[in-house]
Amino acid sequence: MALRQSGEDYLEAVLVLREKKGVVRSIDVAQYLGYTKPSVSRAVSLLKASGHLTMEKDGRLELTEAGLRVARDIYERHKLLTDWLVRLGVPAEIAAEDACRIEHDISPETFQCLKAYMEQ
C-alpha cells in the first residue's frame, strides 16, 4: 500500500521521537507535529491497518519493519535536503520546511544523484 505524504510524516515523527525519547505515544506525535489528538488517532489507525505501525497495550507506538523502512527513507531525505538547502544559503528554518515538502516528491533517481553529489 502506497502511503500519502501525511502517513510518511507520521512515520518520520515516530522515528525522530523514538530516537529522542525512547518511548513514543500518540500525544507525543500530536505535540511534535502540532496536530490534534483525534487527527493522530485516525492516522495511527490507518497506519496500523496498513501494517506500518503497531500500538502496544500501554499505548506505545512501534514502527513495523515496513514502517521503519519508510521512516528511515523519508528522514534520510529530510536531513540531506535540509543540509543541501542550508549549504545553498537558505536559512535553516526555511530549509527544514522546504525539505519537508520536497522529500515526498523527489524521485529516487534524483535523490540518489543529489546524495552522491553531496558526498563528494
**Reported pTM:** 0.88
| pLDDT digit string, tens, across residues 24-49 | 999 999 999 999 999 999 999 999 99
Q: Set out the domains of the chain in order of their start, with CATH numbers.
A: 5-69 (1.10.10.10), 71-119 (1.10.60.10)
Which residues of the chain carry a pLDDT beneath 70?
1-2
Residue 2's pLDDT is 58
What's the pLDDT score for residue 1?
A: 46
Q: Which helix (H) or strand (E) holds 47?
A: helix 37-49
Say what angle helices 26-33 and 5-21 make with each other, to 10 degrees.
110
